Structure 1
Amino acid sequence: MDATQTTADPAAARRPADPLAAYRAADFPWYGLDEGWTGRRWLGQIGTGQNPRATAADTPDYGTLGHGDEPARGPEPRDTRRFAMVVTVARREVRRSADNTGTLEATSASSAAWLAGAGLLAATWPGTLDRTLRQHWLDQQSALAWDLADDLEGPAWSSLTLPVNGLPQPFRYRESEYGWVLAGEAPGVLIGAYGRSVSAYGIGFTTVPDLDAYNGR
């Protein structure tokens, strides 16, 4: 597994003070659902890391674009929400860690799978759990998501072909009681996605030339 767990841990993701400016600072293209999605679109969260080629300290390493209902923030009902999240992950080569004490492995499709899996857990954890049990559940399920992301060719995953900019692209796909997760590659980036109550079989991805469509919160 690559070091995205360190540089792009979902727990470290944040909503920037100026979301559009933060997204536009990326040195890679953003991907969202194509025109087949006619519902609400919104900005998710951004994760940053150390990119030695970047000129800005907070150049994103990954970020999410949301479609449909925004996931619940607290102990609210989650099973009624319908959403699909697209995670765009920059292609990064081996690089120095943020504290300059070691190196981080290159990003890969497993990076996108881990971020998507962790994102699904954060969006769908059982709202009836108290704080202690919730953390235990998240720790346990996150460890499982990490192991699954590290074995994309394993039996937990199946193949799914979806359009990316109108062209068929292979993805690795899995379902759980909480929703679905998929991961693959796209021109210039790695793509992860997760959702609930939205069929993954009917979606497609495309580059997002105008992020204003996602800023109508």
Structure 2
Amino acid sequence: MESSDGNGEKEGLVYGASAKQGGAVSLELLHNGYEVYAVARTEEQIEQLRAAGITAFRGDLNDTGSLYEAIQHVQIVYFQLPVNFDLPLVRRYFQNAVDTAKLANVELLVVNTNVFVPKNLTDSDAIEIKRELKAYARDSGLPVIFLQPTLYLENLYIPGVFEENVLASPVPADHPIAWVSLKNAAKHASYAIKSRFETKRHHKCPSQINIKKRLKGTHLP
């Protein structure tokens, strides 16, 4: 596996490339000249990924052995924490991904927590497991960057979230929130990778990137 230094082809493994969020990241990386790898459980998913220009392998995050065929080709691993309330399963998936990345000695791990994790402890298990897994990634010794979007604009299309000009959100309409589209979140992921490999001042590469643009409820269409 050759090192990426801003010259030549760069390779990245995107977990969740078959889903909307990971798929957007995969397409953005392809657009920027990266060779993208992925793992999928079914032949149908594999064929869809290959049709999009992604090198896909049969694999499952429950089986670390099945991940190595893909990860041995890459310098970069992107992992999006899933929206799944089976917390032991999420923990196992993430730890398997990080352990395999460490074994393969990848040069960068990019983790999207899928939600903002505040500095102070909360009473939400769904938030606190993300804090736990961030610590696991840091303790791996791998270079890691965290992406922490607050809310995805595409959530507005979920039935019942936005109906008759009313947004079902437990936040006052005049309170600004950092909304981000899947496309823009993917651009942030690409920037995180580029800042690590394609800038001369690697020591200034941010260890965490948060989405800062904020809109009030009254600004939403």
Q: Give the TM-score, by structure 1 length.
A: 0.29
Q: Give the TM-score, by structure 2 length.
A: 0.28
User: Which protein, 1 or 2, shows the higher relative CO under an 8 Å CA cutoff with sep ≥ 6?
Assistant: 1
Q: Whose strand fraction is larger, Structure 1's or Structure 2's?
A: 1
Q: Whose helix fraction is larger, Structure 1's or Structure 2's?
A: 2
